[in-house]
């Protein structure tokens, strides 16, 4: 299976919206947000493509962090299509995200997942991520 990891483009938006609907419980309209992300220099939206089909995506943001006196990165979304899992696609997306972080001299790459997502936790640990804290959220 040959996989290309590339930046998402405007033509991908309908497929990306569909993918987010598959992976999120929230039936949101994401077209404008995706468009904005693609123009945003502090974001990277990567897709994994196999035989003209988008089979996974990763969104990563970059932000200045005074605590670490430099640039940090957070992976906000990573998922691969269920039928294409365990073929190395998630790994390729994650490696590219880390490579992008290196190129930008990022100090740390963060990612979070739900506590019960054992497979994602194992996946990140396998790729060298260590548990660094607990995440909280609120709706402002």
Distance between CA 121 and CA 18 in Å, rounded? 25
Q: Which CB sits closer to ligand COA, 54 or 70?
A: 54
As measured in angstroms, the least distance from the Cβ of 87 to ligand COA is 5
Please report how close the Cβ of residue 72 comes to ligand COA at its closest, in angstroms.
18
Minimum distance, C-beta of residue 91 to ligand COA, in the bound complex (Å): 3
Q: Least distance to ligand COA from the beta carbon of 69, Å?
A: 28
- Supply φ then ψ for residue 93, to 5 degrees: -65, -45
- Residues 71-130 binding ligand COA (CB under 6 A) are 78-80, 85-91, 113, 117, 119-120, 122-123, 126
Residue 60 β-bridge partners: 44, 75
Burial of 65: CB neighbours in 10 Å, binned 0-12, 13-18, 19+? middle
Q: Which helix (H) or strand (E) holds 90?
A: helix 89-103
Residue ranges that bind ligand COA, judged by CB under 6 A: 23, 78-80, 85-91, 113, 117, 119-120, 122-123, 126
């Amino acid at each position: 299976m040959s996989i290309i990891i590339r930046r998402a483009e405007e033509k991908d938006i309908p497929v990306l919206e569909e993918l987010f609907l598959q992976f999120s419980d929230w039936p949101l309209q994401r077209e404008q947000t995706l468009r904005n992300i693609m123009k945003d220099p502090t974001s990277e939206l990567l897709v994994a493509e196999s035989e003209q089909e988008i089979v996974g995506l990763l969104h990563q943001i970059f932000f200045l962090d005074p605590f670490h006196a430099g640039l940090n990165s957070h992976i906000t979304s990573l998922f691969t299509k269920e039928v294409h899992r365990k073929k190395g696609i998630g790994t390729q997306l994650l490696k590219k995200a880390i490579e992008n972080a290196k190129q930008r001299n990022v100090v740390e790459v963060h990612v979070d997942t739900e506590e019960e997502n054992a497979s994602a936790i194992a996946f990140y640990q396998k790729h060298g991520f260590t548990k660094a804290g607990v995440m909280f959220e609120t709706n402002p």
